[in-house]
Amino acid sequence: MKKFSWNKISFQQLFDNDIFVRVFAVIVAIVAWFAVSISQTPERNRTIVNVPVSINYEGSIPQTLGLQRIGDTEFTVTVYVTGKNSKVQKLTEDDFIATVSLNNVNQAKEYTLPIEVTKKTEDSDYRINSWSNTEITLTFDKIVTRQMTLEVSTPKLSAADGYILEKPYADVETITVSGPQNVVNRIDRCVMTLDNEGELTDSLTASGAPTLLDKNGAAVVSEYLTIEPGTVEVTVPVYRTKKLTLEPQFVNVPKGFPLDKLRYTLSQNAIMVAAANDIVDNQDSVILGPIDFRTVDIGKEMSLDVTLPAGFINTENVSSVTITFPTYGLTSKNFSVPRNNFVFENVPTGYEAVLATGTLENVKIVGDSTVLSGMSSDDLVATIDLSQVTAKKGQYTVPVRVYCQNRVLAWAVGEYTTVIALQEKAAE
């Protein structure tokens, strides 16, 4: 087979070939058609999409007034152009500038502002006919922050019989609301409402989002509001109720005194309290006082504070009760305690104590009338505790405690002192 070689074919020979001539004719026809088309349609229309709209906030009038743009921050327009085909087919969104002037923005409100579209560079080969959006709506306002007390509402919850539902509370006392001033100013209250329902026998904890309400109770909702924290935890305390007896406590009670025989009345003998299930069963009474027994006298009235243990609630709001000692069946009498009836306790080692005075005079004894009718000075004992006395030779004024012997219903009223002498023991 004979090899084909381009070197041996002349230009004239190509045109002698029918196939080549036909192909060449088609190519020339196409080029001619394009040339005629271009010459007959020298311009064409084109649509350029997603041309960004520039809103220059920096250094603007609203910025100097502290106004901020509320809402969407990015906008685009579609630009329609006409020009030379070779030019417009190469145009992109980067060849245009779309702007909005903020020169007329001088207060907080909504504005409808014109959009202006221009060429980025001067080019006479095409012109801008129009653009899709000729106006844009912008809202300007001051962004403010406000602290609000958080309210908690539990409209569908109640306590079961024998229990009380205390005031619910959240893990935060206040919330912070930020947003446009005209929206924030509409807010009147911030409420966390639990939708849980039923009768409770134990405390409940739940979480949720606070709701902002206006003065009419309608929700204030805006996508431009922020609430911090957005979620809060609410506790609904539920306590079991129980009645506790009130019991006076006495101090400085005389030795051997039959306290169970002492008569008195309380303005209230018991109090209704409430506490959590795990502690209420361990408490049966509330201690009142203490009462200094040396102040107890015939017909004496004292106001005693009611102080509950930690974790208990005073459901009756009783802050104090009155204790009254009777006037009937009791009498009083003054006695002198003889020297022989004094007893020294806790005498410092190496020392001995003696009275520097005579008898202890005018000791008031109160007690059962039948007991005092047969009582004498010999039935009284005066004790002197020297545990607080410095172990030095000399005289000291010391307190004296007087009590009645034989465990009778009688006691000394008031505080008494005497003078003692402390001296070293003689060597044996």
pLDDT digits (tens, 9 = 90+) for 364-383: 999 999 999 999 999 999 99
d(CA 42, CA 44): 7
pLDDT at 25 over 80: no
Residue type, 210: P
Residue 428 has pLDDT above 70, yes or no: no
**What was the pLDDT predicted at 4?**
46
Helix (H, G, I), strand (E, B) or coil at 43: strand
Q: CA dihedral in degrees (121, 123, 129, 132; nearest 10)?
A: -30
Identify the residue whose tokens are 């000692």. Answer: 325
27-36, 191-200, 306-315: least confidently modelled range: 27-36
pLDDT above 80: residue 41: no
Structure confidence at residue 6 (pLDDT): 47
> How far, in Å, CA of 269 to CA of 323, rounded?
10
pTM above 0.75, yes or no: no
Model confidence at 2, pLDDT cuts 50, 70, 90, reads very low
Please answer whether residues 57 and 69 qualify as being in contact, where contact means their C-beta atoms are separated by less than 8 angstroms: yes
Q: Is 215's pLDDT higher than 90? A: yes
